[in-house]
Structures are given as structure tokens and as C-alpha cells.
Chains A and B, each alone.
Chain A
Amino acid sequence: GENVEQHPSTLSVQEGDSAVIKCTYSDSASNYFPWYKQELGKGPQLIIDIRSNVGEKKDQRIAVTLNKTAKHFSLHITETQPEDSAVYFCAASKGYGNKLVFGAGTILRVKS
């Protein structure tokens, strides 16, 4: 089955700096790669996603890149703010009705 590895497990950055979180997946049939932000006591919130027919996607300060050949995808957050502090999960899926497999999560701390 699918296995998703996520690094780093914790990441501390200064406010205004960039943060990068990387994931690798094992199943080449996976075609949907979302990123979730989870704050304490809340459910995961989708922040950006990418599908296997696209190499990069950007939404304001957040971007995701996908390298299908290497089975890597990464989250880039620019101009980080204290409110970006949370746990971030990457995930992979074969799409509708299929299992969404999560990485282990990254605790992001943005210091002001």
C-alpha cells in the first residue's frame, strides 16, 4: 500500500522567513496530493492541493511542487507569520473514494 514520508518533523523559522516541508510517496498510482494545516483542537484544514497532471501550484504565500518521477512533493510557505504556526500534514491518494494516506506531520513554529 501507499506510504508517505514527511520531513522535517519540526521546523522553527523567524517571522518573514520561508518554510519548506518535503514529502515522498511510494505508490506511483497516487494522483492527488493535498496539504493540511491542523491547529490545536481542530480538524485538518485543506490549504492547497496538487494533482498529478500539474507540476506546481501557487496560492498567495503558499506553493506546492510535484516531481512525479522522483515521487516527491513539497510545500513552500513564504513570508511566514505567527499564525502559520501549526501542524502540517501532507497526504497522497488515488482520488475519489480512496484512502487518503498522511505523512507523519511537521510542527511549524514561527517566531516573532
Chain B
Amino acid sequence: DTEVTQTPKHLVMGMTNKKSLKCEQHMGHRAMYWYKQKAKKPPELMFVYSYEKLSINESVPSRFSPECPNSSLLNLHLHALQPEDSALYLCASSQEGTYGNGYTFGSGTRLTVV
């Protein structure tokens, strides 16, 4: 299995809703990442988990709350989002090594906040 699986593929939520994005990989990668991508822009890092511990938080607002329940799963909990948070949310994973293996990306969750 060489894939990163993200669910759901599409999500529409109101500003008062609470929702979660899910990411799963079974490649034995020990680092997992959340990226946000706006239209016609490159992905921007939000969070990094290494060995299930949060290692990097790129000053992301607290309405985004990451969670890594185990080495294969990564969640992103969403609460009280704003319309400007609408974007493609990408999960990625990478393998430990001298330079790290390629970062493998999922297909993303397209989030629309209304």
C-alpha cells in the first residue's frame, strides 16, 4: 500500500459546525503532515507530527486542531471556521531516513465554509 487516503473528499460546513478531516497511511511512515492549499497557490504547511507527537505548528489558528491517534492516522478537527478557510486540505507522510523518503500526498479534502 503506497497511498495516503483522505476522507471525506468534499465537505461543506457552516461557521458554527464542528467537523473532522481524516487521513490514513499504511506505509510505516512516522511523519505526517497537514497542508492547506488555496486555489492557484502552492500548498502551505500547517502541522507536522513525528512519532505521533506534534513537532511543528505553523502558527495555525486554534479553530484547527490536529490529532494523531496512532502512527497510521491523522485527524484535523475543525470548529468555528471562517469562509476564508475554504481550501483544499492535504495530508502527507514521509519515511525516516538520511534525507527522508518522498513526501506522499493524499488527494485532499476540498472544504467549503458557508
Contact = CB atoms under 8 A, between A and B. Distances in A.
Contact count band on A: 20 to 34
Interface of A: 31-32, 34, 36, 41-46, 49, 51-52, 89, 91, 93, 95-105
The 7 closest A-B pairs by CB, nearest first: A96-B100, A102-B42, A95-B100, A43-B105, A97-B50, A43-B107, A95-B99
Interface of B: 4, 6, 31, 33, 40-45, 48, 50, 55-56, 58, 88, 90, 92, 94-108, 110
30 contacts: A32-B100, A41-B107, A42-B107, A43-B88, A43-B106, A43-B108, A45-B105, A46-B103, A49-B102, A52-B99, A89-B42, A95-B98, A96-B95, A96-B96, A96-B99, A96-B100, A97-B31, A97-B48, A97-B56, A99-B45, A99-B48, A99-B58, A100-B33, A100-B45, A100-B92, A102-B43, A104-B42, A105-B40, A105-B41, A105-B42
